[in-house]
Structure 1
């Protein structure tokens, strides 16, 4: 298939593009290379992708509707995997307009482009943050009416927009509620990176919620494998061809356990600075993946110790830290 992958220079985007190319698909990767975190990391990811014969990069912004429509008109995509978004719960507290442009305007533009130039399947990234402080484990039937951050609100709005396009125009959509993904080439604003960086530099670790938070830490390869399994399985049948699926590890891991694992892997002892729960954060996340397993079958998931080991090895290599 010929696939448009938005957010191709992002963490999940890079890994997804690699897997698609290795599976024999043609991938057009779209990204605006914004500076939310160092562009050098995004460029290094793209360097990995440029080694793939089936990959081609286009620099562009999903908020630019005319350019996006022109790309769809020229390329005739079979499917779209829409991962581009302004990420980060905490950043949405200080820069909400960036989330409006990318997560609302950009999402609407992608949906409209898929309507005008129909595709077999649109996969789009939602987030576990839509559940707010619901009772874990989260099922897709749980209420999402109380988002705790503006980021979460934009992701919930994206789901509603996708459902409307599915209902009105028959656009087959799968919304993927992603749970705290980590691994090599990960994001610098997320806990595994922040804690590893602080440990290796001998700095204090800032731990919010006084160390009481829990997260469903999900290894990148497991998430990408699930996405590729979902891609050919477009929803169909009566009603709106739209589904929501949790993609996660199915475990609520205490953040303090994550730190202990990183201490072992780095050979360093953490000096922790405890702070209150930050505005926009939730206490715990945990995925109920029954619907995903019913669709693609049971998954073999990567243990936290193994996944963190891969991440720490990559982190040392990327930053030139000796073992």
Structure 2
């Protein structure tokens, strides 16, 4: 099997590529390596993928239709996993045009290339941010027509465009709504790595709100397994990939880090950000039925894998811009 994975230098993209390659697939990884967060993290992930003989890297932007056409003309892909996206709720409020271009138009470009080359299978990463204001635990049938950030709106646009291509051209589309992914080599703009480093350094943690806001944390290994499982024929399905248990508060995450590091956090509270969700919690029954998937890595064990990775790579991780 030969798979195009966009966003291969991203957090989920890196781990998904790793597991695909370990299973014997050929992977063409594509990434623009933008500077939304410190590129040294992306370079580390790419260096890790380079050890696999079945991996080929192409530096490119999914908004570049000419380059995409060239890529699709020179490879015969069995499926596309689109993990390329501008992430981050708060920054999307500062630069919404970038988000619509990458997350919506970029997805459309891939769909058009797939249509032209007769490639029918797409796995598309989406987000739990679409469920803002809905009753928990979030189930896939909930109406998600009121996104509260440009990021969420751009992801909704990608979902509905993928449906259009399913309807018109019989594409087989698996849309995966990820819930707060964490683990080794996670994004330095997200709280797990930031809080871990700040506690280790003795730097005060900037915490928006009182810390009782909670997330359905999901380990990157579980997310990657679910993403690969979604390559099976499904028609058109939207599927949650999340921890599936009671959501875990930010305060609890801080407590676990304190225990693993043997250090006490210093916390500076700031007002809660209106674009953030107070809580997320996934109903994952559908993933179990359609993908035979459930998360296998518990929260405390998962945080330990992050702490272990951090301590092994501490010298250069301390230099990352957070």
Same fold, TM exceeding 0.5?
yes
Query: Which consecutive aligned stretches of 4+ in structure 1 deviate over 3 angstroms post-superposition?
Result: none
After TM superposition, give the deviation of residue 313 of structure 1 in Å: 1.1
In structure 2, how many angstroms separate the alpha carbons of the residues matched to 1:14 and 1:41? 11
What TM-score comes out, normalization by structure 1 length?
Answer: 0.95
After TM superposition, give the deviation of residue 155 of structure 1 in Å: 0.5
Q: Name structure 2 gaps, 5 residues minimum.
A: 317-322
Total equivalences in the alignment: 316
After TM superposition, give the deviation of residue 306 of structure 1 in Å: 0.4
Matched residue, 2:240: 246
After TM superposition, give the deviation of residue 319 of structure 1 in Å: 2.1
Matched residue, 1:305: 300
Matched residue, 2:283: 288
Residue by residue over 1:149-190, the C-alpha shift from the partner in whole angstroms, topping out at 9 and shown as x without a partner, is 110010111111100110011111110000000000100011
- Asked whether 1:168 is paired with 2:154, we answer no
Matched residue, 1:182: 182
SS at match of 2:74: helix
Map 1:135-174 onto structure 2 (within 5 A).
135-174=135-174
In structure 2, how many angstroms separate the alpha carbons of the residues matched to 1:204 and 1:300? 32
In structure 1, how many angstroms separate the alpha carbons of the residues matched to 2:215 and 2:89? 14
Matched residue, 1:234: 233
Alpha carbons 2:242, 2:295 under 8 Å: kept: no
Q: Name structure 1 gaps, 5 residues minimum.
A: 236-240
Alpha carbons 2:125, 2:177 under 8 Å: kept: yes
Alpha carbons 1:133, 1:284 under 8 Å: kept: no
In structure 1, how many angstroms separate the alpha carbons of the residues matched to 2:293 and 2:38? 37
* Between 133-142 and 1-10, the greater mean CA deviation after superposition: 133-142
In structure 1, how many angstroms separate the alpha carbons of the residues matched to 2:149 and 2:213? 16
* Between 116-125 and 160-169, the greater mean CA deviation after superposition: 116-125
SS at match of 2:144: coil
Map 1:94-243 onto structure 2 (within 5 A).
94-231=94-231, 233-235=232-234, 241-243=235-237
In structure 1, how many angstroms separate the alpha carbons of the residues matched to 2:313 and 2:201? 15
Matched residue, 1:238: none
- Asked whether 1:256 is paired with 2:251, we answer yes
In structure 2, how many angstroms separate the alpha carbons of the residues matched to 1:267 and 1:98? 41
- Asked whether 1:7 is paired with 2:7, we answer yes
Residue by residue over 1:249-293, the C-alpha shift from the partner in whole angstroms, topping out at 9 and shown as x without a partner, is 013111111110011111111121222221310110011011110
Alpha carbons 1:118, 1:171 under 8 Å: kept: no
What TM-score comes out, normalization by structure 2 length?
Answer: 0.95
Alpha carbons 1:128, 1:178 under 8 Å: kept: yes
